[in-house]
Amino acid sequence: MNEDILYTPEKIAQKLKITKGTVYEMIKREELEAHHIVRHLRISKV
C-alpha cells in the first residue's frame, strides 16, 4: 500500500457502477483490498 491511490467505498461504487452494498460484499469476499485508516475504510486496488 506504499503509494497506492486510496478510494472510499462510495467512489469505488461510482467507478464500477455498482451499489455501495456490493462494494462491501466484494471486500468481505476479498475481491477488493481494503484498509481501515483512522476509522475510515479505504480501498486500494480496483
Neighbours of 24 (CB within 10 A): 16
**Quick one: CA torsion of 17, 20, 23, 29, rounded to 10 degrees?**
-140
Task: Quote the CA–CA distance of 31 and 39 in Å, as a whole number.
Answer: 21
* Euclidean distance between the first and the last CA atom of the chain, given in angstroms as a whole number: 13
Confidence at residue 4, expressed as pLDDT on a 0 to 100 scale: 73
The mean predicted confidence, pLDDT, of the chain is: 89
Confidence at residue 19, expressed as pLDDT on a 0 to 100 scale: 98
Cell of 33: 483490498
Confidence at residue 1, expressed as pLDDT on a 0 to 100 scale: 46
